[in-house]
Amino acid sequence: MGRRFILLGALAAAVAWAVVAGTIALERWPPIAAAVAAEKDRGVRGCATRYFETDGRERCQILFETQYVMERNMAIFTRLLIVFGPLVGAGVWAYVGRDRSGAKP
């Protein structure tokens, strides 16, 4: 009985964490996304001054596009992990610690 209350408390705390952390992540996302996009744009503009031939300039632009996608995906994944990590952990804890005897509580 006590274990169930502890588990429900952990799940409630994880849900509260997800709501608060998700709200903070959403509020702070636009400036972070803008900074990542600005860095990509700066790099792509620099490709024209670094490489005079078209092939080199295109490869440079592809490199900065790839870097942009990777940085954006890392930022999104990190925020999702921070928001949902405790909730997933509490769910795994509930699944692993469930009563398998079949007895009614």
CA pair distance 82, 8, nearest whole angstrom: 20
Q: What is the pTM of this model?
A: 0.74
Q: What is the pLDDT of residue 6?
A: 85
CA pair distance 90, 92, nearest whole angstrom: 5
Does residue 98 belong to any structural domain of this protein? no
Does residue 77 belong to any structural domain of this protein? yes
Q: Residue 39 has what DSSP assignment?
A: H
Does residue 103 belong to any structural domain of this protein? no
Can you give the residue range of the structural domain that contains 33?
17-86
As given in the structure block, the two tokens for residue 60 are 């440079």
As given in the structure block, the two tokens for residue 89 are 């952990």
- What total number of domains does the chain contain? 1
Q: What is the pLDDT of residue 34?
A: 95
CA pair distance 44, 32, nearest whole angstrom: 19
Q: In degrees rounded to 5, what are phi and psi of residue 43? A: -65, -40
Does residue 99 belong to any structural domain of this protein? no
Q: What is the pLDDT of residue 1?
A: 66
Does residue 33 belong to any structural domain of this protein? yes
Does residue 59 belong to any structural domain of this protein? yes
Q: Is 90 exposed, middle or buried (CB count within 10 Å of its CB: 0-12, 13-18, 19+)?
A: buried
Q: What is the pLDDT of residue 93?
A: 84
Q: What is the pLDDT of residue 99?
A: 66
Sign of CA dihedral 5, 11, 15, 21: positive
Does residue 11 belong to any structural domain of this protein? no
Q: Walk along the chain (105 residues) and give the pLDDT tens digit of each residue.
A: 677 888 888 889 999 999 999 999 999 999 999 999 999 999 999 998 898 899 999 999 999 999 999 999 999 999 999 999 998 988 888 888 776 655 555
Does residue 55 belong to any structural domain of this protein? yes
